[in-house]
């Protein structure tokens, strides 16, 4: 009955926490590829190979459905994996689409032609790899027209969050917001396009100002997953227990994860 959740490190715990609260009876297997984090500075081929290996590990753990709770992996690997063909009965879902559907005020699965939306100026904060992929702009173009997206690559921010250096992380948020505002002085909405960034959401909001609506992914993905499982209950795999797996040092990752979620998290070696 398990569903897999994958991230390059600890950022996907923000998604895991939300989906576990929304679906308390579903066991989740979380895999963080901490040994190879961060993905955001890697090239697309490297991200694809690492993502494919991690997703296959979750399939082996009894997860027929895997949530790719990493924007860099969703941007660089998801479509390529789908185009190459997934094994029968296996599915991989990314985290971009629920966010874009919320931004464009579309219902889940609305495949009508792109249309005008209220928000015209959108700031996208993401990793360098996600920005380079232009995956967000591509998915947005399927659903909306007339939207100006200004992307800001937030170098160093994932590393600071993973290391627990909150002072540096806050300084980097302010610096990246200032750089974005030099290109787009008055964004109407801001997308936190990395699952690490909700951990700094209040600081993004403070730097952007109260008039900017900040979208992050965890709750949106949780609602989309709940709706998906209502329509596809067979996609819950054979696994029966919740697990936390890491390619890094389990003791170190467990300590960091416990700090992130403020409850004890015990990781095992993947």
Q: Does residue 26 come out as left (phi exceeding 0), alpha (psi in the -120 to 50 range) or beta?
A: beta
Determine which one of 55, 66, 70, 160 is catalytic.
70
CB 223 within 8 A of CB 15: no
Q: Which of 220, 216, 165 is nearest to 195 (CA)?
A: 216
Instruction: Classify the C-alpha dihedral 130-150-116-141 as positive or negative.
Output: negative
> Any idea what DSSP says for residue 120?
-
Q: Which of 154, 191, 194, 225 is catalytic?
A: 194
**C-beta separation of 106 from 143 below 8 A:** yes
Is 63 considered catalytic here? no
Catalytic: 194? yes
Distance, CA of 240 to CA of 27 (rounded, Å): 6
- Catalytic positions, written as ranges: 70, 194
């Amino acid at each position: 009955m398990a569903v897999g959740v994958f991230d390059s490190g600890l950022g996907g715990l923000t998604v895991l926490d939300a989906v576990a609260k929304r679906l308390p009876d579903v066991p989740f297997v979380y895999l963080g590829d901490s040994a190879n984090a961060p993905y955001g500075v890697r090239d697309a081929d490297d991200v694809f190979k690492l993502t494919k290996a991690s997703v296959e590990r979750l399939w082996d753990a009894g997860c027929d459905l895997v949530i790719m709770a990493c924007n860099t992996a969703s941007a660089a690997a998801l479509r390529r994996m789908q185009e190459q063909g997934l094994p029968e009965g296996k599915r991989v879902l990314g985290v971009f689409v629920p966010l874009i559907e919320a931004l464009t005020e579309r219902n889940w699965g609305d495949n009508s032609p792109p249309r005008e939306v209220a928000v015209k100026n959108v700031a996208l904060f993401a990793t360098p790899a996600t920005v380079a992929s232009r995956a967000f702009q591509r998915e947005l173009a399927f659903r909306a027209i007339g939207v100006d997206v200004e992307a800001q690559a937030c170098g160093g921010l994932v590393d600071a969050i993973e290391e627990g250096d909150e002072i540096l992380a806050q300084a980097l948020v302010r610096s990246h917001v200032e750089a974005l505002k030099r290109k787009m002085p008055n964004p109407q909405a801001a997308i936190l396009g990395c699952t690490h960034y909700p951990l700094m959401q209040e600081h993004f909001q403070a730097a952007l100002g109260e008039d900017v609506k900040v979208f992050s992914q965890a709750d949106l993905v949780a609602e989309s997953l709940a709706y998906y499982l209502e329509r596809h209950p067979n996609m819950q795999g054979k696994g029966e227990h919740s697990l936390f797996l890491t390619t890094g040092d389990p003791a170190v990752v467990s300590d960091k994860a416990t700090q992130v979620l403020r409850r004890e998290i015990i990781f095992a070696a993947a």
